[in-house]
């Protein structure tokens, strides 16, 4: 693994501010292997001109705080016109290698030519001006766009797809369909009775059935009221918000690298699977049967917890035996960052999950599902927008670029470089790093403490690198699909430098 040299780095002083200018020189082996840029006019590296946050950002932050009184999460104000490829530029002119990627939601980086071309089309302008309520007045081209943009990448075995606005509402409506299917099945396929219609209006049985959804400790499925009942990652998400009495099972706490701890990890996964069985039985006895289970391929917000294919195969089997739907939340892992379009492809399930939700890198929200989970009555799953037609115009260009530029291969290659590099750094700095893990470029490593994780993110930003955290003390990486080997080496070199200074 060849990192960048730091021999050519220098510091200079501008208007009393120390400016770090990085002009790294590659090792010869690395230089010869450098891939051509996927965004032709992309910057060569980070550039920090001011203190971070800079004066313009601080001024805008004060103005924003006067407006919202809710600015505690803002890190910088961006200049999106100047941003290119993997590099985000702020209003002070500082340039960052973005390894967190708007919380993993920008698939092709900033101002990708294919997307600029797509949004410059008259079709997009027409769609924006005449924003349609897709549930009642969709544009004539919408079915074709859904076929091209969504059905062309559908998970194997899932024939139906519904668009939504965001990840949380995708999960909400997907689970509504599992409730509808569960009750329809319980009635032998019959429609609701008049008694059920009447009692539903008063939130009472039998029209408002006492069903439950199983989730996992450490999970994150969104911030809407229903999804918060299934989210168990951070207290700040849930405190002061009423919650539904729904079961949560333990998610496996595995040792990494997985191939070195197969026996220990199998014991842990079997323990969690038994807990799933116990929770299903417990809630059935309480009169709150589990209608569905929702699970992330990797528990992202909770700390990038992984499980093996064995766990998910067995989980699907347990749910099938219990008559509960198997819902896979791919809001964060879907769209190629795992090295495959869908992370669950790597499990080799005997059959498709019942429902797969998505958002983030796929631009629009939504979910795929088996035909038997389709609503039986109009307006059971409905809202004004039911998605955003302009997003499918963009998604067509994204899907085409993924295929044309072999971006899944790019992700796989960069992921191997990052993960092996983190393992080297882990061996070099065992007092700070442990448990490097990932799939594709969906990667994390644990730090020695929450304070150390926060310090590394802060130091990285001051040096021109945007990083993220998750769980209690994990550093997480969520780059764009165009994050190449040269970007991976810039990142690893900077982490090496930061760790050497700690």
Question: What pLDDT score was predicted for residue 35?
Answer: 80
Is the Cβ–Cβ distance between 26 and 2 less than 8 Å?
yes
- Rounded to whole angstroms, the Cα distance separating 86 from 410 reads 14
Q: Looking at residue 441, what DSSP letter applies? A: T
Q: Are residues 217 and 365 in the same domain?
A: yes
Pairing of strands 95-98, 465-466: parallel
Dihedral (Cα; 354, 359, 365, 366), 10-degree rounding: -10
- Rounded to whole angstroms, the Cα distance separating 311 from 500 reads 38
Q: Dump pLDDT digits (tens) for 381-423.
A: 999 999 999 999 999 999 999 999 999 999 999 999 999 999 9
Q: Are residues 282 and 171 in the same domain?
A: yes
Judged against a pLDDT cut of 50, whether residue 6 lies above it is answered with: no
Known catalytic membership, residue 329: yes
Domain that holds residue 376: 134-188+196-403
Domain end call among 361, 387, 403? 403
From the list 4, 220, 251, 326, the catalytic residue is 220
- Rounded to whole angstroms, the Cα distance separating 118 from 129 reads 16
Q: Are residues 377 and 414 in the same domain?
A: no
Judged against a pLDDT cut of 90, whether residue 279 lies above it is answered with: yes
Is there a domain that residue 217 lies in? yes
Known catalytic membership, residue 176: no
Q: Identify the three-state secondary structure at position 277.
A: helix
Region 89-110: what's the mean pLDDT? 97
From the list 329, 354, 493, 496, the catalytic residue is 329
How confident is the prediction for the chain on average, in pLDDT?
93
Question: What pLDDT score was predicted for residue 14?
Answer: 34
- Position with higher pLDDT, 350 vs 14: 350
| CA-to-CA separations, 56 to 51, 63, 229, in angstroms, rounded | 11, 11, 40
How far is residue 156 CA from its own chain's centroid?
20
Q: Are residues 412 and 434 in the same domain?
A: yes
Region 97-120: what's the mean pLDDT? 96
Judged against a pLDDT cut of 90, whether residue 209 lies above it is answered with: yes
State which H helix or E strand residue 321 sits in.
helix 309-322
Judged against a pLDDT cut of 80, whether residue 154 lies above it is answered with: yes
Q: Are residues 418 and 346 in the same domain?
A: no
> Residue 336: CB partners within 8 Å, gap ≥ 6?
107, 361, 402, 407, 408, 411, 440, 481
From the list 49, 84, 279, 360, the catalytic residue is 360
Is the Cβ–Cβ distance between 485 and 479 less than 8 Å?
no
Is there a domain that residue 125 lies in? no
From the list 185, 193, 384, 428, the catalytic residue is 384
Q: Are residues 417 and 380 in the same domain?
A: no
Percent of the chain with pLDDT over 70: 93
Q: Are residues 141 and 221 in the same domain?
A: yes
Question: What pLDDT score was predicted for residue 129?
Answer: 94
Is the Cβ–Cβ distance between 84 and 112 less than 8 Å?
no
What does the angle CA 22 – CA 25 – CA 26 come to, to the nearest 5 degrees?
A: 130
Q: Residue 120: phi, psi to the nearest 5?
A: -85, 0
Where does the pLDDT of residue 342 fall: very low under 50, low under 70, confident under 90, or very high at 90 and above?
A: very high
Q: Are residues 352 and 420 in the same domain?
A: no
Percent of the chain with pLDDT over 90: 93
Q: Are residues 290 and 416 in the same domain?
A: no
**Largest Cα span, the chain:** 78
Domain end call among 356, 383, 403? 403
Is there a domain that residue 355 lies in? yes
Q: Are residues 283 and 170 in the same domain?
A: yes
Q: Are residues 262 and 346 in the same domain?
A: yes
Q: Dump pLDDT digits (tens) for 14-63.
A: 333 444 444 343 333 343 356 899 999 999 999 999 999 999 999 999 99
Dihedral (Cα; 285, 288, 291, 297), 10-degree rounding: -90
Region 88-107: what's the mean pLDDT? 97
Judged against a pLDDT cut of 90, whether residue 8 lies above it is answered with: no
Is there a domain that residue 112 lies in? no
- Show the tokens assigned to 497: 């430098």
Q: DSSP of 477-488, one letter per residue?
A: E---TT--HHHH
Question: What pLDDT score was predicted for residue 16?
Answer: 36
Is the Cβ–Cβ distance between 43 and 84 less than 8 Å?
yes
Q: Looking at residue 310, what DSSP letter applies? A: H
Q: Are residues 413 and 376 in the same domain?
A: no
CATH classification at residue 411: 3.90.1150.10
Question: What pLDDT score was predicted for residue 266?
Answer: 98
Q: Dump pLDDT digits (tens) for 70-82.
A: 999 999 999 999 9
CATH classification at residue 339: 3.40.640.10
Count of structural domains within the chain: 2
pTM reported for the whole predicted model: 0.92
Describe the chain by its helix, strand, coil percentages, rounded to 5: 40, 15, 45
Known catalytic membership, residue 220: yes
Domain end call among 349, 373, 403? 403
Question: What pLDDT score was predicted for residue 22?
Answer: 43
Q: Dump pLDDT digits (tens) for 247-277.
A: 999 999 999 999 999 999 999 999 999 999 9
Q: Dump pLDDT digits (tens) for 284-303.
A: 999 999 999 999 999 999 99
- Rounded to whole angstroms, the Cα distance separating 168 from 181 reads 20
């Amino acid at each position: 693994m060849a990192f960048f040299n730091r021999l050519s780095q220098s510091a200079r002083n501008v208007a009393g501010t120390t400016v770090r200018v990085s002009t790294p020189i590659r090792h010869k082996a690395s230089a010869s292997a450098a891939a051509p840029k996927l965004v032709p006019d992309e910057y060569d590296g980070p550039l920090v001109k001011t203190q971070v946050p800079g004066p313009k950002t601080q001024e805008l932050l004060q103005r924003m705080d006067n407006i919202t009184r809710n600015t505690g999460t803002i890190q910088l104000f961006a200049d999106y016109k100047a941003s290119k490829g993997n590099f985000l530029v702020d209003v002070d002119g500082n340039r960052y290698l973005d390894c967190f990627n708007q919380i993993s939601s920008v698939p092709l980086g900033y101002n990708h030519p294919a997307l600029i071309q797509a949004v410059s089309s008259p079709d997009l302008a027409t769609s924006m001006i005449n924003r349609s309520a897709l549930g009642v007045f969709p544009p004539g081209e919408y079915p074709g766009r859904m076929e091209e943009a969504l059905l062309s990448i559908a998970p194997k075995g899932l024939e139906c797809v519904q668009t939504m606005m965001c990840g949380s509402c995708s999960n909400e409506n997907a689970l509504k369909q599992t409730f509808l299917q569960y009750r329809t099945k319980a009635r032998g396929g019959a429609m609701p009775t008049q008694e059920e219609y009447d009692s539903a209006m008063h939130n009472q049985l039998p029209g408002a059935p006492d069903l439950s959804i199983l989730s996992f400790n450490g999970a994150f499925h969104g911030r809407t009221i229903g999804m918060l009942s299934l989210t168990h990652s951070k207290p700040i998400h849930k405190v002061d918000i009423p919650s539904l009495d729904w079961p949560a099972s333990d998610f496996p706490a595995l040792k990494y690298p997985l191939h070195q701890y197969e026996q220990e990890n199998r014991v842990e996964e079997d323990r969690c699977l038994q807990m799933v069985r116990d929770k299903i039985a417990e809630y059935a006895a309480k009169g709150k049967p589990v209608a569905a289970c929702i699970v992330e391929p990797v528990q992202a917000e909770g700390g990038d917890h992984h499980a093996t294919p064995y766990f998910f195969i067995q989980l699907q089997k347990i749910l099938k035996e219990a008559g509960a739907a198997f819902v896979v939340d791919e809001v964060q892992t879907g769209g190629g960052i795992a090295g495959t379009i869908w992370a669950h492809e790597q499990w080799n399930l005997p059959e498709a999950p019942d429902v797969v939700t998505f958002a983030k890198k796929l631009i629009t929200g939504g979910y795929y599902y088996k035909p038997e989970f389709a609503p039986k009555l109009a307006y059971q799953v409905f809202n004004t927008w039911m998605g955003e037609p302009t997003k499918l115009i963009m998604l067509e260009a994204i899907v085409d670029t993924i295929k044309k530029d072999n971006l899944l291969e790019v992700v796989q290659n960069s992921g191997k470089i990052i993960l092996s590099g983190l393992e080297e750094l882990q061996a070099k700095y065992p007092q700070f790093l442990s448990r490097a893990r990932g799939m594709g470029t969906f990667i994390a490593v644990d730090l020695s403490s929450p304070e150390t994780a926060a310090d590394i993110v802060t130091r990285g930003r001051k040096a021109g690198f945007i990083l993220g955290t998750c769980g209690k003390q994990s550093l997480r990486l969520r780059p764009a699909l165009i994050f190449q080997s040269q970007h991976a080496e810039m990142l690893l070199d900077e982490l090496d430098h930061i760790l050497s200074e700690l």
